[in-house]
Amino acid sequence: MSQHVPSSSSVCIHAVCISPDYRGKSLGVRLLREYITRLESATRDDGSRSYERALLITHEELRHFYEEAGFEWLGKSDVVHGSRPWFEMRKVLGTGVASTSPSEVQSQSIPPGVWEALQRTPRNRPVIRHFASFSGISEMCAPDDTGNILNKFDLLCPREECGSVILKANVAKWVERASVQMEPQGMPAHSLLPTLPTPPGTAQWWLITPSPMAFENIGFTRPIQSLSQSPETGKKLKLLACAECDLGPLGWSEEGGTEFWLTCSRVGYRA
């Protein structure tokens, strides 16, 4: 579940979101069942089923919610995000989960406007400004009362088709420090991500402390064995990526550390 594979037969569900005004009406389960029905009916050009399974991770208190939609409990996940443990669940498609057709969903007393809202085109994504467009640090930073230089703009996933908000403005501190090798030896950076200077050359970073909960949206890899040397401690590194589209690495943190570093040149800025 850590990498987007366009041709995969697995679909990973990141979240099921219901407005607070409409909770407690079983809408979440019904919408999830409808989504499963659509996955089961999707086919490839040769007529074969497009998807074989739906996967997700969740907290323990939501187990019953997903079980109502036909998911099975697999156990504790290796994913680390925040202080609480995550658990994996799976739905093998085509195994008889109760489903509803779109017309049935509409007829089951969904509050007015909800179904129509689900059919609308998604809201416009934010306009992304890239690091190279700034004339200098003063244009992208703002000092706080203690003299720290903070990010003036929301930090975004730099992929135009995504644009997910990674960090809100005025949260990260600008630091110029030694570069870090984030791509394994011999592996080029993603075409959307600028190449960083070779250590010990310096690069510009956004420093976020002391917890990953400061982020709006971020994903972490497991500790990377081949990237075992951070500049100060030699601990293994975990790489940071957009949690929506998996674009990365955008930054890094030490295993068990409290400092999280985003590369200034590898994130977008809300215009």
Binning pLDDT at 50, 70 and 90, where does residue 51 land?
confident
The arithmetic mean of pLDDT across residues 4-12, rounded, is 79
Q: Is the pLDDT of residue 229 over 60?
A: no
Please tell me which residue, 241 or 234, carries the higher pLDDT value.
241
How high is the pLDDT of residue 241?
Answer: 92
Cα dihedral 262, 263, 264, 267 sign: negative
Express as a percent the part of the chain with pLDDT over 70.
Answer: 84
Please tell me which residue, 246 or 201, carries the higher pLDDT value.
201
Residue with token string 């690495």: 249
How high is the pLDDT of residue 105?
Answer: 46
Please tell me which residue, 5 or 2, carries the higher pLDDT value.
5
The arithmetic mean of pLDDT across residues 26-30, rounded, is 88
How high is the pLDDT of residue 208?
Answer: 97
Q: Are strands 10-13 and 53-58 parallel, antiparallel or unpaired?
A: parallel
Sheet with 155-156, strands from edge to edge, namely: 128-129, 268-270, 155-156, 165-167
Q: What structural domains and CATH numbers belong to the chain?
A: 10-119 (3.40.630.30), 128-270 (2.170.150.10)
Q: Is the pLDDT of residue 63 over 80?
A: yes
Q: Strand, coil or helix: what is 76?
A: strand
Please tell me which residue, 60 or 97, carries the higher pLDDT value.
60
For residue range 139-195, what is the model confidence (pLDDT) as tens digits?
999 998 888 999 999 999 999 888 889 999 999 999 999 998 888 777 788 899 999
Q: pTM here?
A: 0.58
* CA–CA separation, 116 and 105 (whole Å): 12
Residue with token string 């030694």: 178
DSSP state for residue 123 in the 8-state scheme? P
How high is the pLDDT of residue 8?
Answer: 80
For residue range 92-151, what is the model confidence (pLDDT) as tens digits?
987 654 444 445 444 455 556 665 655 555 556 789 999 999 999 899 999 988 889 999
- Say if residues 33 and 100 touch (Cβ distance below 8 Å): yes
- Quick one: tokens of 66? 């997903």
- Rounded to the nearest integer, the mean pLDDT of the chain is 84
How high is the pLDDT of residue 177?
Answer: 94
Binning pLDDT at 50, 70 and 90, where does residue 82 land?
confident
Q: Is the pLDDT of residue 20 over 90?
A: no
Phi, psi of 104 (to 5 degrees): -70, -40
